[in-house]
A and B are shown apart, each in its own frame.
Chain A
Amino acid sequence: MIPVRGSTEKSVHHLDPSRLQAVRVTQNVEVAPGIYRLSFPRPWEFIPGQCLALTMDPRRPSRFYSIASGAAEPLVEVLYDLVPDGELTPRLAVLAPGDEVFCSAPFGAFRDVEGPSCWIATGTGIAPFVSMARSRGAAGKLLLHGSRSIAGLLEKQMFASLLRDRYVPCCTREAAEGVFPGRTTAWLADRRLPAAERFLLCGNSEMVVEARDILIGRGVPFADVVAEIYF
């Protein structure tokens, strides 16, 4: 295995300001240490799995975040990690209801269809799967979610209730009953692979690349693996 040293630094994207619209924050809460959920009234339709660009100033670069709310819900929610020395998230973290942020229209084609799928996520990469589950349920799905902390297993209750034994929380730094002690990729490498028509991956690029290699190495056709890069 290749040693990697990951980064939480998100890429910046220079969007034409005319592609951004002002929205007012409805809620902005720290849902786990260093992880926030920001919401605002939904200004458009979207397809679960899509993302949006977010910035505090339309003249400044944006960052991309997957939408974490249901398609029919009145609010759009995004999850973000506070990067203490980052340019955007320290400013996002202090936003209060009524404050203004700028977002793009939804975009992207990371989608699932009906039928058995295996969802694999790390950290806030869970967002598109939260959106899918809240939009259409999670029948036939199996979810592996990796986090450094138990608190970072976002929407644990919802997924445990929806998926029961087809929800596999994985935690690398803390132990808890019913939580696999290790990385999602360790679970994938050791266990019998779930019967799934497709595998959807979302999270840091190290996990995505490693999980994809494990799946392909274990005989899953690469055409059945779809990855959302997290950048």
Chain B
Amino acid sequence: MKESLVGATRERLTEAAVAAGLPAYAGRQVADWIYRKGATDFDQMTNLSRAGRAALAERWEIGLSSPVKVRESADGTKKYLFACHGGFVEAAWIPEEDRGTLCLSVQVGCKMGCLFCMTGKQGFQAHLGAGEILNQYLSLPERARVTNIVYMGMGEPLDNLANVLDSLEVLTSDYGPGLSPTRVTVSTVGLLPAMRTFLDSTRCHLAVSLHTPFEEERRRLMPIENVHPLAEVLAELRSRRERGQRRVSFEYIVFGGLNDTPRHAKEMGRILNGIRCRVNLIPFHAIPGTPLDPSPRGKMEEFQALLRERGLLTTIRQSRGQDIEAACGLLSTRELVRSRGGSGE
């Protein structure tokens, strides 16, 4: 089986070019064809010698693959399914007036076991390689309209750190699509050692899934709290403030009657004191069998006001794609069940 070139950094592309008998600078040309011009075949790379193209094709493949399914919401949001590792991953295209956001997946399934997450119910099946992560962008029909990329789809990005960092390098490099790091956000449940490496390695934005400021409550929602307590994650972020740490986002899914109380707002103000941050309140898209409920819009706005009173820049994420299984992991889980002979319901 041939190895894919998608996902390769410039260094590896240069190695591949040299191995194919091409000059070292051809690595940059190959990158340009794959990452900027969207080439799907070596024969399209007309500024490479015919012999060099043949040598590349003999040993490598480009490795792009189209989505196997798409579902479109009445609000314009689209969910694309890509087949890989015997399962499926989702990429969500979220167009808005002034921007187009692509939400990427990094694993087939997830190990983190968060109570509110559908992806975790698939168990963990595989890490995506850098190429499989980038393919969700490069094979997106709306690719030219993408202005922002968020790593908030299936899987925990910092549990697949090496591949995520390689994909970020490509996305933000001058030999790749050249996205500004400020337009790329990577989310994490708070894998502390990997978070340190991420912050040291890239200027891309970080979003920490917080969801409740109380340790015991977070332990029930997010098992990672047992391993890397939020307090340690926040201490690390606070310690970087003097080093000019970029602003961090805190993702906060709002569950009705659970984490939308004045007590939670007060504690949020306390624990986030001293951290340059934004709190992003997210409507909960209910998943089958969950003991959690969405918080009504009015309640979310009250909670937002309470957080703002405590000096926290707080936004409410617009709910999108509710008619196309918006909850992350829901569409791919149903497809997985169908592909294995179930009804998908």
Chain A residues with CB under 8 Å of chain B are 2-7, 11-16, 51, 53, 62, 64, 107-110, 204-206, 208-210, 212-213, 216-217, 221-223, 225-231
A217–B219 contact, CB under 8 A? no
A229–B224 contact, CB under 8 A? yes
- CA A209 – CA B113 in complex, angstroms? 6
Shortest distance in angstroms between B255's beta carbon and chain A's nearest beta carbon?
Answer: 11
B219–A109 contact, CB under 8 A? yes
Q: Mark B93-112, 1 if CB is under 8 A from A, else 0.
A: 00000000000000001111
What chain A residues lie within 8 Å of B191 (beta carbons)? Answer: 13
Shortest distance in angstroms between B199's beta carbon and chain A's nearest beta carbon?
Answer: 12
B227–A226 contact, CB under 8 A? no
Q: Which 9 A-B pairs have the closest CB atoms?
A: A4-B123, A206-B123, A231-B111, A227-B223, A110-B226, A229-B223, A13-B193, A205-B111, A3-B340
Q: Which residue of B lies closest to A3 (CB)?
A: B340
- CA A208 – CA B114 in complex, angstroms? 10
Size range of the chain B interface in the assembly = 35 or more
Q: Which residue of A lies closest to B112 (CB)?
A: A229
B337–A3 contact, CB under 8 A? yes
- CA A62 – CA B126 in complex, angstroms? 19
Q: Kindly identify, within residues 159 to 193 of chain B, every residue whose CB is under 8 Å from any CB belonging to chain A.
A: 159, 161, 191, 193
A2–B333 contact, CB under 8 A? yes
Q: Is B238 an interface residue (CB 8 A)?
A: no
A4–B109 contact, CB under 8 A? yes
A209–B125 contact, CB under 8 A? no
Given contacts A13-B191, A109-B229, A229-B224, contact A209 B121 (CB under 8 A): yes
Chain B residues with CB under 8 Å of chain A are 86-87, 109-113, 115, 120-126, 159, 161, 191, 193-194, 196-197, 215, 217, 219-220, 223-229, 289, 291-292, 333, 336-337, 340, 342
What chain A residues lie within 8 Å of B291 (beta carbons)? Answer: 216, 221-222
B223–A228 contact, CB under 8 A? yes
B113–A227 contact, CB under 8 A? yes
Q: A3-B337, A208-B223 are in contact. List 5 more A-B contacts (CB 8 A).
A: A13-B194, A53-B193, A109-B225, A206-B123, A227-B113
Selected from B109, B115, B194, B217, the residue in CB contact (under 8 A) with A212 is B115
Interface centre among A2, A51, A53, A223 (most CB of B within 10 A): A2
Instruction: Return 16 A-B CB contacts under 8 Å, by A number.
Output: A4-B123, A6-B124, A13-B194, A53-B193, A64-B227, A204-B123, A205-B113, A205-B120, A206-B123, A209-B123, A212-B115, A216-B289, A221-B291, A226-B223, A228-B227, A229-B224
B196–A209 contact, CB under 8 A? no
Q: Which residue of A lies closest to B118 (CB)?
A: A2
Shortest distance in angstroms between A6's beta carbon and chain B's nearest beta carbon?
Answer: 5
Q: Which residue of B lies closest to A109 (CB)?
A: B226
A14–B337 contact, CB under 8 A? no
- CA A123 – CA B217 in complex, angstroms? 27
A205–B219 contact, CB under 8 A? no
A231–B289 contact, CB under 8 A? no
- CA A222 – CA B293 in complex, angstroms? 13
Selected from A6, A107, A217, the residue in CB contact (under 8 A) with B227 is A107
- CA A107 – CA B229 in complex, angstroms? 10
- CA A204 – CA B197 in complex, angstroms? 26
What chain B residues lie within 8 Å of A14 (beta carbons)? Answer: 161, 193-194, 196-197
- CA A4 – CA B223 in complex, angstroms? 20
B220–A11 contact, CB under 8 A? no
B220–A226 contact, CB under 8 A? yes
- CA A223 – CA B214 in complex, angstroms? 13
- CA A62 – CA B191 in complex, angstroms? 13
A6–B223 contact, CB under 8 A? no
A4–B226 contact, CB under 8 A? no
What chain A residues lie within 8 Å of B194 (beta carbons)? Answer: 13-14
Shortest distance in angstroms between B218's beta carbon and chain A's nearest beta carbon?
Answer: 10
Q: Which residue of B lies closest to A231 (CB)?
A: B111
A228–B226 contact, CB under 8 A? yes
- CA A216 – CA B115 in complex, angstroms? 10
Given contacts A205-B112, A205-B120, contact A2 B336 (CB under 8 A): yes
B289–A213 contact, CB under 8 A? yes
Selected from B126, B196, B229, B289, the residue in CB contact (under 8 A) with A217 is B289
A16–B196 contact, CB under 8 A? yes
